[in-house]
Amino acid sequence: MIVCVQYKLRFFDVFTVVYIAQCVCHFAFLIVNGNENHLVMVKNWFEWHDLYKNEPKLQQRLQIVQEYIAHSLNLSQPGLIRVVSVCAGDGRDLLGTLSNHPRAKDVYARLVELNPQLVERGQETIESLGLTKQIEFINGDATISSNYVGAVPADIVIVCGVFGNLADETELNRLLANLSFLSKKGAFVIWTRGHSQGIAHSETVRKFFREHGFEEVDFKLTATGDMGVGIHRYLGESLAAPKEQQFFAFTGIPSKAR
């Protein structure tokens, strides 16, 4: 009888331990990697853009970004409106807004993106909108200041999906300091920053923007609660020459992008 009880207990213990170990591993995996599907499904930045089809966080983020782009266009002075987009993806935020905005014909934009497939898709959209004479989609390195020469200082600077792909806060500060080359005095800067592991990273971004001479126009969290989208105005003078040739390093990887 005693032997039997002991055996049952041991049997139960083994199952319990294995079960607990599985749970711990699973939760640790989710904490480290966020969305499980992200890690499994996304191999490159082209595939990352497919997440827009199903992920509420990205869909809500896009909606707010487009709202802010439209707001910036509405408030722009009559005449030419210069726009730059850093790490533009397929340009859906700007191009989607221009598709039905009355100031579309006033926009001169340069979008800089490293992935050739995304650039190709963006270029097809530009052609379909009849904006080929005004919008340049450069297949190049957005971290290099020479890729913006001729297109800056801009009235609207889009830096979406970038801040979560920097190594640390020092790198974020370096990029913010260099926005004075991209931005005109009074330029709108539109940005995003995801939260992870319960940390509201967008609050750090807002604090740093203040310290770099930007005024907050508006800030929203997505309804999912884990993605911040902001619009700031640059109040300082724009720099004629960049402070650095390479003004930030993009170190994020698609499977963990936030």
Q: Which residues bind ligand SAM (CB under 6 A)?
A: 45, 48, 87-89, 112-115, 118, 141-143, 160-161, 250, 257
Q: In the complex, what is the shortest distance from the CB of residue 224 to ligand SAM, in angstroms, rounded to a whole number? A: 16
Strand intervals (E) in the chain: 81-86, 107-113, 135-139, 154-159, 183-194, 214-221, 227-234
Q: In the complex, what is the shortest distance from the CB of residue 237 to ligand SAM, in angstroms, rounded to a whole number? A: 26
Q: What whole-number distance in Å separates Cα of residue 31 and Cα of residue 196? A: 8
How many Cβ atoms are within 10 Å of 141's Cβ, its own excluded? 14
Nearer to ligand SAM, 1 or 98 (CB): 98
Nearer to ligand SAM, 71 or 236 (CB): 71
Q: In the complex, what is the shortest distance from the CB of residue 22 to ligand SAM, in angstroms, rounded to a whole number? A: 32
Q: In the complex, what is the shortest distance from the CB of residue 26 to ligand SAM, in angstroms, rounded to a whole number? A: 26
Q: Which residue's Cβ lies closest to ligand SAM?
A: 161
Among residues 36, 60, 38, the alpha carbon closest in space to that of 47 is found at 38
Nearer to ligand SAM, 22 or 251 (CB): 251
Pairing of strands 227-234, 214-221: antiparallel
Nearer to ligand SAM, 88 or 152 (CB): 88
Q: Is 238 left (phi over 0), alpha (psi -120 to 50) or beta?
A: beta
Q: Is 40 helix (H, G, I), strand (E, B) or coil?
A: helix
Q: Return phi, psi of residue 183, to 5°.
A: -105, 135
Nearer to ligand SAM, 48 or 108 (CB): 48
Q: In the complex, what is the shortest distance from the CB of residue 45 to ligand SAM, in angstroms, rounded to a whole number? A: 3
Q: Is 86 left (phi over 0), alpha (psi -120 to 50) or beta?
A: beta
Q: What whole-number distance in Å separates Cα of residue 243 and Cα of residue 29? A: 40
Q: In the complex, what is the shortest distance from the CB of residue 47 to ligand SAM, in angstroms, rounded to a whole number? A: 10
Q: In the complex, what is the shortest distance from the CB of residue 141 to ligand SAM, in angstroms, rounded to a whole number? A: 4
Nearer to ligand SAM, 59 or 213 (CB): 59
Nearer to ligand SAM, 6 or 246 (CB): 246
Pairing of strands 227-234, 183-194: antiparallel
